[in-house]
Structure 1
Amino acid sequence: MTSAVETIRRTRDPRVALALLALPSLLIAIDISVLNIALPRLAADLSPSPTELLWMNDIYGFMVGGTMVTMGTVGDRIGRRKLIIVCAAVFALASAIAAFSVAPWMIIATRAVMGVAGAAIMPASMALIGRIYPDPKASVSAMGAYMTCFLGGMAVAPLIGGVLVEHWWWGSVFLMGVPVMVLTVLAAPRVLPEFRAENPGRPDVRSAALCLASILLVVYALKAIVNDGWGWMPVAAAGVGLALGVMFVRRQGRLEHPLVDLGLLRRTGVSRTMVVLLLTALVMGGTSMFVAFYLQSAQGLAPLTAALWLLPQMISMIVAANLGPWLGRRLPPARIVAACMVLMTAGFALLAVIPDGPSGLVVLAGGTVLTTGGCGAAFPFLMNDVISHAPQDRAGSAASFAQTANEIGIALGLVVLGSIGTLAYRARLTSDAGHADGSWVDGLKQAADRDDAGLLDHVRHAFASGFHTAALTSVAIMAVVLVLTFRALTVRPSKQE
């Protein structure tokens, strides 16, 4: 096993290594949402069916969430640098093929491969950051810089995609990833240290299959419920996925070399941190849907104007991802995380009292700045807390475990808060207009088709009521998070300081 001192010695410049690790994360973040921009022209050229169109858009996220736990463990076993190099090459090749696809199935297949490669690169990179920066405070700062690149990619994806599609063709959104990944393949052997488990054991294929099937079924069910409402098929998929998940957990307890070391959750404070990651992802993911609809539906803003009102929250998150680690050099991390959770709670409280009219935009901007800023500052500490408590030979598995909890939390938030908001919407619409058909999307479409200004006004007010209810639910969930984080101040003060 490579020691921390040997790791630093073999890394000529830790900052160069961090930059090389962060570049692929920027690209992976862009690829999560950039296809949305290219989809109309892609659909016009390839003529996919509605089902194929849905899979082209969703398969990348499905594969990232479904394979991240498995690929994190693979990196611990074969070597994290080796996995990054191999998967960067695979990502580049799949991107090039996707750019010149001639049929919908090619886009679906290549996006699936890109999702698996992206799922491997992220946990391996986060685990290597802990080796390159063994000092806890330096590690948190490096994690903040890494997350800045990821969040920056999410922020600029619509702009980059729009420019590329406007001036070239839809395939250009895939080609932009090729040079970044090629650079990673060429530079990684010279810049990055290698680390692998000393006695990893044989990979358990059955565990990998159970994990993949469980997560894919649950994520599919959550997305289906969000898109089409409750039905027997998504409920059945969720039930089967949860059953497979139970089988997976039981199998890990029997294996000498499990795919996921569930003993990590028994370490002091780790289970608490995982719950905080899951719940904060839930409220952030769930309310993000309402924010987007509020700007364009309730306020009636044009897409570009709505995007400009989203800029403050993205800037807040990026700044906070760097400000938090800077404060961590001066204050105990547990206090910073607790303060961040207070800020997030205050932000959701503002979203719960957004007034009608233009002033609502100002309140919305203030609320989202607080929520995204608090989340951005706390996230590097939370991720580092999970990774640092894992044995060095299981750090990649721990990183993937934490990131998967984050992904599932976002999907769960869309269902939970979306359902609560829809119930409140229907209740308000019934009292105002005497009927409540479908969701606010259906209501807005009906009002537009009928050119009914009165119905449109009712739908907008009903949607605002649903938004307020979802935000109040988020405040209640954050109250649980506050209890957990403030408890950490009393349970582990000496460790944090």
Structure 2
Amino acid sequence: MTLISDAPSVIRNPRLALALLALPSLLIAIDISVLNVALPRMTADLHPTPTELLWMNDIYGFMVGGTMVTMGTVGDRIGRRRLIVLCAAVFALASAVAAFATAPWMIIVTRAVMGVAGAAIMPASMALIGVIYPDPRKSVSAMGAYMTCFLAGMAVAPLIGGVLVEHWWWGSVFLMGVPVMLLTVLTGPRVLPEFRAEHPGRPDLRSAVLCLASILLVVYALKSIVNNGWTWTPIAAAVAGIALAVVFVGRQNRLDHPLVDLGLLRRPGVARTMWVLLLTALVMGGTSLFVSFYLQSVLGLSPLGSAMWLLPQMIAMIVAANLGPWLGRTVPPARIVATCMALMMAGFTLFALTPEGPAGLYVLAAGSVLTTGGVGAAFPFLMNDIISHAPQERAGSAASFAQTANEIGIALGLVVMGSIGTVVYRSQLTSDVGHADGSWVDGLNQAAANHDNALLDHVRHAFTSGFHTAALTAVAVMALVTALTVRTLRRAKG
């Protein structure tokens, strides 16, 4: 496949180009969680039904996860800079419409559009980083800076959303993205290099529909199981999603110009690194569920107090995302990533040892810093490893593969770790008080409603036992991840 690139041999201002790529990622990250802050005011004004409320909250994440693989390939075909500029304009327009929405369906539609645009911008941006910084070491550092912006957006979203909603109106949380995206539209063609395939072949719409439907069904099923338990509806959705995924894979193998080049997964090291990303996201996503409940339900902290104790882990992740690449200038990447995996294993071990009393707060905080710091330092190397394995004309597709594995891993972790914790919780509660109906949320609510301190203590103890078991499972998973990581990155030289 031949390529078209209008990137000069030396990009005039690579730092400016990186900043222009990173700023939209900041807004995309903020939009993932900022709606939670504005939702109460929006609900009072728009009066959504329970179903509409659910879709208002979840549709953005669904569309990001469901379309990222397709949009990463589209960027490789039509040009990554062109796709970034086009989708930045779409994101800005959808944000402006959402800010002045007068009905729930308008929020749902505009958030869906914003999700597709965000799914297009992220893999195209990460793929262009390799064009802007062809040196592998500089590319990893640039990836760390890019991830810093994304993580900072996740960290400050509740604060920014709270300030905007408090002093203006709920629509202001959407308007803040408009100027940043317009800046990308106006300056992108002048600052960013272009890169695309010259003869990409015709896009296959059937493949795009199959990809979207399969991922949406699987993600919907996982989220439904977390919220409502194992019922026939999410199980049927998961089966249908997996069946469509099988059809999608078969179609890609038959087409002369497939929507997604699955041959990337057969390149040496790529499949193993994808498994590392998936499993790491699984244990991080799964244990985060327990950490939040432990802080508020076992230790009795307020939501604000809980958020303050979670702040160190966000700071650790942001610092590590830059410290890891800096160390990579002198230390072999394989050694850095293996060390990061060991740090994460140590963090999950602390989770497994977390006591129920006040001392548990410090143990939990230390474990959170180790786990998030480990993944923050390792992630730029893992992403760069996958992208560097792919030919430049498929770098966007490779980045989208990796991001989708991360999204599905988080959702899968909530189901797997939550199910493990629930099984242990129910067994502990049965042996202690002869009652095992429902989840720990039901137990906590029942104890609070009946002012039953004895039951509350039993529920907290049973939940902590479930948390410890889930954490031990995470330790075992991280042992496997460490082995995969060392094998995958052993070839890398400092």
TM-score norm. by structure 1 comes to: 0.98
SS at match of 2:242: helix
**TM-superposition CA deviations, 1:54-94 (whole Å, max 9, x none):** 00000000000000000001111111001001100000000
Q: How does 1:172-211 map to 2 (within 5 A)?
A: 172-211=172-211
Asked if the contact 1:8–1:14 (Cα under 8 Å) also holds between the matched residues in 2, the reply is no
Match of 1:326 in 2: 326
**TM-superposition CA deviations, 1:301-330 (whole Å, max 9, x none):** 011111110011000000000000001110
Match of 2:457 in 1: 457
Match of 2:92 in 1: 92
Match of 1:71 in 2: 71
**Amino acid across the alignment from 2:370:** L
Asked if the contact 2:4–2:198 (Cα under 8 Å) also holds between the matched residues in 1, the reply is no
Residue 155 of structure 1 deviates from its aligned partner by: 0.4
Asked if the contact 2:56–2:111 (Cα under 8 Å) also holds between the matched residues in 1, the reply is yes
**TM-superposition CA deviations, 1:453-481 (whole Å, max 9, x none):** 11111111111111111101101111111
Residue 9 of structure 1 deviates from its aligned partner by: 4.0
Cα distance between partner residues in 1 of 2:10 and 2:345: 44
Cα distance between partner residues in 2 of 1:233 and 1:496: 49
**Amino acid across the alignment from 1:32:** I
Cα distance between partner residues in 1 of 2:442 and 2:47: 26
Q: How does 1:156-235 map to 2 (within 5 A)?
A: 156-235=156-235
Residue 258 of structure 1 deviates from its aligned partner by: 1.4
1:496 aligns with 2:490: no
Asked if the contact 1:336–1:378 (Cα under 8 Å) also holds between the matched residues in 2, the reply is yes
SS at match of 2:465: helix
Cα distance between partner residues in 2 of 1:8 and 1:316: 37
Asked if the contact 1:10–1:193 (Cα under 8 Å) also holds between the matched residues in 2, the reply is no
Cα distance between partner residues in 1 of 2:355 and 2:271: 38
Cα distance between partner residues in 2 of 1:10 and 1:169: 46
Residue 255 of structure 1 deviates from its aligned partner by: 1.3
RMSD over aligned CA atoms reads: 1.2
Cα distance between partner residues in 1 of 2:259 and 2:383: 19
SS at match of 1:355: coil
Is there any run of 5+ residues in structure 1 with no aligned partner, and where? none
Q: How does 1:137-152 map to 2 (within 5 A)?
A: 137-152=137-152
SS at match of 1:196: strand
Match of 1:238 in 2: 238
1:21 aligns with 2:30: no
**TM-superposition CA deviations, 1:17-74 (whole Å, max 9, x none):** 0000000000000000000011111101111011000000000000000000000011
Cα distance between partner residues in 2 of 1:342 and 1:246: 35
Q: How does 1:309-324 map to 2 (within 5 A)?
A: 309-324=309-324
Match of 1:486 in 2: 486
TM-score norm. by structure 2 comes to: 0.98
**Amino acid across the alignment from 1:205:** L
Asked if the contact 1:285–1:414 (Cα under 8 Å) also holds between the matched residues in 2, the reply is yes
Is there any run of 5+ residues in structure 2 with no aligned partner, and where? none
Asked if the contact 1:76–1:197 (Cα under 8 Å) also holds between the matched residues in 2, the reply is yes
Match of 2:59 in 1: 59
Cα distance between partner residues in 1 of 2:37 and 2:441: 21
Residue 10 of structure 1 deviates from its aligned partner by: 6.5
**Amino acid across the alignment from 2:367:** G
Residue 488 of structure 1 deviates from its aligned partner by: 3.3
Cα distance between partner residues in 2 of 1:199 and 1:135: 27
**Amino acid across the alignment from 1:95:** S
More divergent stretch after superposition (8-17 vs 205-214): 8-17
Cα distance between partner residues in 1 of 2:384 and 2:424: 38
1:121 aligns with 2:121: yes
Asked if the contact 2:4–2:195 (Cα under 8 Å) also holds between the matched residues in 1, the reply is no
Match of 1:341 in 2: 341
SS at match of 1:92: helix
Q: How does 1:343-492 map to 2 (within 5 A)?
A: 343-488=343-488, 492=490
Asked if the contact 2:3–2:393 (Cα under 8 Å) also holds between the matched residues in 1, the reply is no
**TM-superposition CA deviations, 1:261-295 (whole Å, max 9, x none):** 11111111111100000000000011111111111
Residue 3 of structure 1 deviates from its aligned partner by: 8.0
Asked if the contact 1:75–1:83 (Cα under 8 Å) also holds between the matched residues in 2, the reply is yes
Match of 1:109 in 2: 109
Cα distance between partner residues in 2 of 1:146 and 1:399: 13
Residue 235 of structure 1 deviates from its aligned partner by: 0.3
Q: Identity across aligned pairs (percent)?
A: 80
**Amino acid across the alignment from 1:496:** K
Asked if the contact 1:92–1:181 (Cα under 8 Å) also holds between the matched residues in 2, the reply is yes
Residue 487 of structure 1 deviates from its aligned partner by: 2.5
Cα distance between partner residues in 2 of 1:230 and 1:3: 50
Asked if the contact 1:213–1:244 (Cα under 8 Å) also holds between the matched residues in 2, the reply is yes
Match of 1:272 in 2: 272
Residue 437 of structure 1 deviates from its aligned partner by: 1.7
Asked if the contact 1:198–1:393 (Cα under 8 Å) also holds between the matched residues in 2, the reply is no
Match of 1:261 in 2: 261
Match of 2:133 in 1: 133
SS at match of 1:7: coil
Cα distance between partner residues in 2 of 1:269 and 1:437: 45
**Amino acid across the alignment from 1:148:** T
SS at match of 1:496: coil
CA distance 1:370–1:467, change in 2 (3 Å):
same
Residue 496 of structure 1 deviates from its aligned partner by: 3.1
Number of aligned positions between the proteins: 493
Match of 2:251 in 1: 251
**TM-superposition CA deviations, 1:347-381 (whole Å, max 9, x none):** 00110010121100000011010100000000000
Asked if the contact 1:99–1:172 (Cα under 8 Å) also holds between the matched residues in 2, the reply is yes
Cα distance between partner residues in 1 of 2:487 and 2:391: 25
SS at match of 2:435: coil
Asked if the contact 1:66–1:212 (Cα under 8 Å) also holds between the matched residues in 2, the reply is yes
Asked if the contact 2:85–2:184 (Cα under 8 Å) also holds between the matched residues in 1, the reply is yes
Q: How does 1:36-55 map to 2 (within 5 A)?
A: 36-55=36-55
Cα distance between partner residues in 2 of 1:496 and 1:227: 45
**Amino acid across the alignment from 2:493:** Q
More divergent stretch after superposition (480-489 vs 137-146): 480-489
Asked if the contact 1:270–1:389 (Cα under 8 Å) also holds between the matched residues in 2, the reply is yes
SS at match of 2:408: helix
